[in-house]
Amino acid sequence: MKKTITLLVCALTVCALLAGCGGGGGGEKTPAAENTGASGNAAPVQSEAGSKYVFPFKGAQVAVNAPMAPLVDALGEPGDYFESESCAFQGLDKVYTYGSVVIRTYPQDGTDYVLSVQLRDDTVSTGEGVYIGQTRDDVVAAYGEAADETDAALRYVDGDCTLTFLLTDGTVTDITYTADAV
Amino acid sequence: MLFTSYAFVGFLALVLLAYYLVPGRFQWPLLLLASYAFYFAASPYYLLFILVTTASAWAVCVKMEDLTGAQKAYLADHKDLDREEKKAYREKIKKRKRAYLIAALALNLGILAVTKYTNFVLRSVSSLVGGAFQPVDLIVPMGISFYTFQTVGYVIDVYRGKQQAQRSFFKLALFVGFFPQLVQGPISRYGQLSETLYAPHKFQEKTFSFGLMRILWGYFKKVVLADRILTGVTALVQGGQYAGAYVFVAMLFYAFELYCDFTGGIDITIGIGEAMGIRMAENFDLPYFSKNIKEYWNRWHITMGTWFTDYIFYPLSASRPMLRLSKWSRAHLGQKMGKRVPVYLCSLAVWLATGIWHGAAWNFVAWGLANYVVIMVSQELEPLYERFHARTHLRGKAPYEVFQVVRTVLLMSMIRMFDCYRDVPLTIAMVGSMFTRFDAAIFTDGSLLAIGLDGADYLVLAVGLAVVLGVSLYKRKRGSVREALYAKPAGVYYGAMALLLVCTVVFGAYGVGYDASQFIYNQF
Amino acid sequence: MKKRRWLAVLLTAVCTVGVLYLAQRLLTPKYQKGIVEGSMVAEYYDETVEHDVVFIGDCEVYENFSPITLWEDYGISSYIRGSAQQLTWQSYYLLEDTLRYETPDVVVFNVLALKYDEPQSEAYNRMTIDGMRWSRSKVEDILASMTDEEHFIEYVFPLLRYHDRWSELNKTDVQHWFSKDPVTHAGYYMRVDVQPELGFPDPMPLADYTLGEKAMGYLQRMADLCREKGVALILIKAPTEYPHWYDEWDEQVAAFAEENGVPYINYIPLQDDIGLDMATDTYDGGLHLNNQGAEKMAAYFGAYLKENYDLPDRRGEPEYDAVWQEKIDAYEAMKRQQYDELAQYGELVSFGANAIEE
């Protein structure tokens, strides 16, 4: 009996040790993959990565990597619109200007998606209430310490979006949501 | 290294080449080396896991066998012992062996449980108590369910005295880690696989080309058919906006996809073995030709089914508490009913285990239960069927058999929807909508061209389905297609192989624009 | 018997390879109409005379300079080794590749691509690299350029990349199964239509204006290679203004040029000197010059070359005359065809977007 217990204890210890190897390993599943269970590959649910950084504008929620068409429906015709054909007809890059806000798109499989959202003056502010003209400390108060900070910029990353605050002498001069490569 | 990666194809070519270049006695060590390289390439950590499993199984089995040997020697030396003394001695040895067995099982099943099910348990618990779920970051070694089961089976066989222990650590390591079957089975039995695994094999045109043909056939099913229809399945089951008749389509597509994916993968696996003269257990026997669910489960993922039967169902049925329960229920519920109680209980355990083995999620538990219920119900209704058959004389008639086969496929496909949708409630809602909101218009108004599959895709799928069906029918009626081709002139035989290759390369759904979809069964 | 079986194996293998080869030729895009950029890199290998000036870069060279004008006005034999969104390292490896065939006096590199420091797009990679002949340069180019979704072997066997085109094969694929028509004029992509420039959106301010290490590293290698081979390198920024060329970038390139003792000319502020009128000299709203603009640009640049470099006037050399006359004929013919189409349809139908085959 004693031997059984000893062996069992040894076995469980090894178990625990091995299980503790997590984290550093190469092939562990991400929680997202876990969610889809083993059917993940039979029916992979598209990564709804998204980001908590979303720009509220004219009653719409503007998010990077979202399709542009519904946004145009919601925001109306832009004040200014520019498009440029990329080399060898790989699609149109489009720039929609709505007053203080500039939305750029990229094409993929025939649909335009939001590439970036740029806030250009203090008449608009981010979802967390930051606007141009505020100080670095205001940004940090709203967003916490930046993932990446230089004298010229504060950068926050969440999901598929990078939110950048450009600074000149500690004052916010430009705010841009940018889609990370998907 | 997925089977469908360029890297694996290159790796395989090298291994096959090397296998026939080295002297026979170096063939199995070469395979061990290759297997560990394969596993190492996936992640060095995985190697650690498989080494622990191998080492524990090796040590425990050698020890158990030594104990048996010692017992024999002792009893031979002590012929003067009386019966009681002999029995006591045997009991003592048995207990010690049992201790080793339990330790080995606890360790290996423990690793499996911890790596695969920790997050499942945590999530379930936290959703019960309403806390926020924070998944623990764990390594889940590739194919751990498969090699753990295989190893556990071996250990139990040695314990039962059905199997001699493999005293060479490295040979056992090859059995546990043999790369073709590492990721998705079949779950081999040591007794069967060891017959050909370690033996030297000379190159033989027939064996080698048969293996190659089967590998190509597997790739054809996987890359041309399964991966192509996957796009449609994915579109249909995502989010849940495709209800009604779409669910029916998704159900059939998924049935087709899973079949091609899984049997394709197994064909590649077994084909690799064949090309090297190694015989592995068959895992499928034309499952979609089954006439009832029980038969289906005898023909689908066979090695898993027999594993559960041999290592869970029987031991559980013969366990002391079960026997006691059996006695009790027979006394209280009558012979007929009483006999069933333990059987049903054991089956329930097996199906729960089967479900959870497929995936750490409630979907799979529900799926296992659904299978259990259907099998039990059909077993209960057996006398009714018998009477029906006796009265109508339908049994054995071709149209009726076709009906039975179609019914079984549809039923199984429907149950399988549990592992398609995000969760159980959604599955039930969607499958329900198939009956309440079936709108046949989608078949004619072009809706099916808007789920990521175009006309060309459907053409490939239709032709592919016809080919797969044709081959299956031939196999059922006449036997091996390869043998039949081999009997033809060599040009025809090799031409068929070349055709398979060209079709796979050109019509395969791989490369830029396709997600490298893993074999579904890699994850179990 | 045994022998015959092996013969069958051998024969089948040979046939299979043959079929796969034919399939590969058929399925690989031909880039003959509409999107012709994928044909550019390979066309260079058909050249028979040497070039004294070689341009390398992206669309800002192959659409903005007319080598025909350089020949006609100055007797300069030149070639443009450009392709769509040609990244800096791709330009470097194309330079290496070019230097295996000839050693020009001058190499001109357009600096816009320095803004990209990472592989960008699989489609552009293929258009730029597929046409290269195999060499170490090509191998290294592929390795430097691949995006995550790409595999080296798909460059070795393009069938693995393009197999899926079986359902979209068109007439051109069959017509040009085994041969291709030239689409450029010494690497120049001609467009004669006009779409005036109407202004561009304001440039987005950047968090970091530093040009990437990888791109600048390859620019350095380019400079070093030219020095080693005795080739004069000229850095230019074409006169077109979109995508925006930031002053901060300009300064970095200027500093690089100074350090390396090579000239750097930004032509954006020189639009008036060149004589460019962006209301008439562009075909796509100011992104690229049209034929008229490219001829002006070439005339202007040719004068600079003549003045600063000792380039031979090849006019009168029979071999060159013959080759360039052929090019001029093709050039004029295409020009005529394009103007005819404009007159008849109001837009180009055999070139550009309208010519893309679905």
Q: Write out chain A in H/E/C secondary structure.
A: CHHHHHHHHHHHHHHHHHHCCCCCCCCCCCHHHHHCHHHHCCCCCCCCCCCCCCEEECCEEECCCCECHHHHHHHCCCCEEEEEECHHHCCEEEEEEECCEEEEEEEECCEEEEEEEEECCCCCCCCCCCCCCCEHHHHHHHHCCCCEECCCEEEEEECCEEEEEEEECCEEEEEEEEECCC
Q: Which of B505, B507, B514, B517 to mutate to test the interface with C (most CBs of C within 10 A)?
A: B505
Element (H, E) at C173: helix C171-175
B522 contact residues in A (CB cutoff 8 A) = 41
How much is the pLDDT for A36?
25
How much is the pLDDT for A180?
78
- Interface residue C9 vs chain B (CB under 8 A): yes
In angstroms, what separates the C-alpha of A39 from chain C's closest C-alpha? 23
Is the pLDDT at A157 greater than 80, yes or no?
Answer: yes
Report yes or no on A13 lying in a domain: no
Report yes or no on A154 lying in a domain: yes
How much is the pLDDT for B524?
39
- Interface residue B111 vs chain A (CB under 8 A): yes
- Structural domain spans, chain C: 35-200+207-355
Task: Give CA–CA dist A99/B452, Å, rounded.
Answer: 38
Predicted confidence (pLDDT) per residue in B366-388, tens digit: 889 998 998 888 888 888 888 88
Of B380, B353, B381, B379, which is closest to residue B365 (Cα–Cα)? B353
Q: Are B137 and A28 an interchain contact pair (Cβ–Cβ within 8 Å)?
A: yes
Task: Give CA–CA dist A41/B359, Å, rounded.
Answer: 12
- Interface residue C165 vs chain B (CB under 8 A): no
- Interface residue B103 vs chain A (CB under 8 A): yes
Q: Which of A6, A10, A41 to mutate to test the interface with B (most CBs of B within 10 A)?
A: A41
Q: What is the pTM of this model?
A: 0.88
* Pairs of residues, one from chain B and one from chain C, whose beta carbons lie less than 8 Å apart: 58
How much is the pLDDT for A8?
55
In angstroms, what separates the C-alpha of C127 from chain B's closest C-alpha? 15
In angstroms, what separates the C-alpha of C37 from chain A's closest C-alpha? 6
Q: Are C205 and A173 an interchain contact pair (Cβ–Cβ within 8 Å)?
A: yes
In angstroms, what separates the C-alpha of C128 from chain B's closest C-alpha? 17
Residues 6+ away with beta carbon under 8 Å from A81: A94, A95, A96, A97
A110 contact residues in B (CB cutoff 8 A) = none
How much is the pLDDT for B514?
67
Q: What is the 3-state secondary structure (H, E, C) of A18-53?
A: HHCCCCCCCCCCCHHHHHCHHHHCCCCCCCCCCCCC
- Interface residue C153 vs chain B (CB under 8 A): yes
| Whether B511 contacts B253, CB under 8 Å | no
How much is the pLDDT for C80?
97
- Interface residue C1 vs chain B (CB under 8 A): no
User: Chain B residues within 8 A (CB-CB) of chain C?
Assistant: 6, 205, 454-456, 489-491, 493-495, 497-498, 501-502, 505-513
Q: Sorting pLDDT into bands at 50, 70 and 90, what band is A48?
A: very low
Q: Which residue's entry shows tokens 């990353």?
A: A157
C35-200+207-355 is classed CATH 3.40.50.1110: yes
C197 contact residues in A (CB cutoff 8 A) = none
- Interface residue C58 vs chain A (CB under 8 A): yes
Task: Give CA–CA dist A41/C325, Å, rounded.
Answer: 60
Q: Are A28 and B140 an interchain contact pair (Cβ–Cβ within 8 Å)?
A: yes
C39 contact residues in A (CB cutoff 8 A) = none
Low-confidence ranges of chain B (pLDDT < 50): 516-524
Is the pLDDT at A23 greater than 50, yes or no?
Answer: no
Report yes or no on A39 lying in a domain: no
* Pairs of residues, one from chain A and one from chain C, whose beta carbons lie less than 8 Å apart: 59
C38 contact residues in A (CB cutoff 8 A) = 88
Report yes or no on A119 lying in a domain: yes
- Give residues 107 to 146 of C whose Cβ lies within 8 Å of B: 122
CB atoms within 10 A of CB C57: 27
Cα separation values, C264 from B518, C112, C143, C260, C311, Å: 51, 12, 29, 10, 19
Instruction: Specify the 3-state DSSP secondary structure of C82.
Output: strand
Q: Are A116 and C204 an interchain contact pair (Cβ–Cβ within 8 Å)?
A: yes
Q: Are A26 and B43 an interchain contact pair (Cβ–Cβ within 8 Å)?
A: yes
B361 contact residues in A (CB cutoff 8 A) = 37-38
User: Which alpha helices (H) appear in B160-244, and where do they start and end?
Assistant: 169-177, 179-182, 190-197, 205-219, 227-237
- Mean pLDDT, range A57-73, rounded to an integer: 88
Nearest to B137 among A16, A18, A22 (CB): A22
Report yes or no on A62 lying in a domain: yes
B498 contact residues in C (CB cutoff 8 A) = 12-13, 15-16, 19
Q: Are A41 and B360 an interchain contact pair (Cβ–Cβ within 8 Å)?
A: no
How much is the pLDDT for A30?
26
Nearest to A42 among B100, B135, B419 (CB): B419
Task: Give CA–CA dist B461/C297, Å, rounded.
Answer: 55
Report yes or no on A114 lying in a domain: yes
Nearest to B361 among A8, A12, A37 (CB): A37
Low-confidence ranges of chain C (pLDDT < 70): 1, 358
- Interface residue B422 vs chain A (CB under 8 A): yes
- Interface residue A110 vs chain C (CB under 8 A): no
Q: Are B518 and A41 an interchain contact pair (Cβ–Cβ within 8 Å)?
A: yes
Instruction: Specify the 3-state DSSP secondary structure of B478.
Output: coil
Instruction: Specify the 3-state DSSP secondary structure of B514.
Output: coil
Element (H, E) at C235: strand C232-237
Nearest residue on chain A to B119, alpha-carbon basis: A34
CATH number at residue A161: 2.60.460.10
Of A101, C24, C101, C300, which is closest to residue B505 (Cα–Cα)? C24
In angstroms, what separates the C-alpha of A135 from chain B's closest C-alpha? 35
Nearest residue on chain B to C20, alpha-carbon basis: B502
- Interface residue B234 vs chain A (CB under 8 A): yes
Q: Are C58 and A88 an interchain contact pair (Cβ–Cβ within 8 Å)?
A: no
* ipTM for this model: 0.89
Q: Are C159 and B505 an interchain contact pair (Cβ–Cβ within 8 Å)?
A: yes
How much is the pLDDT for C190?
96
User: Chain A residues within 8 A (CB-CB) of chain B?
Assistant: 3-4, 7-8, 10-12, 14-16, 18-19, 21-29, 31, 34-46
Q: Are A38 and B419 an interchain contact pair (Cβ–Cβ within 8 Å)?
A: yes
> How many folded domains does chain A comprise?
1
- Interface residue C207 vs chain A (CB under 8 A): yes
Residues 6+ away with beta carbon under 8 Å from C249: C111, C114, C115, C209, C211
C205 contact residues in A (CB cutoff 8 A) = 166, 173-174
Token digits of residue C323: 């080759």
* Domain that residue A143 falls in: 55-179
In angstroms, what separates the C-alpha of B498 from chain A's closest C-alpha? 29
Is the pLDDT at A38 greater than 50, yes or no?
Answer: no
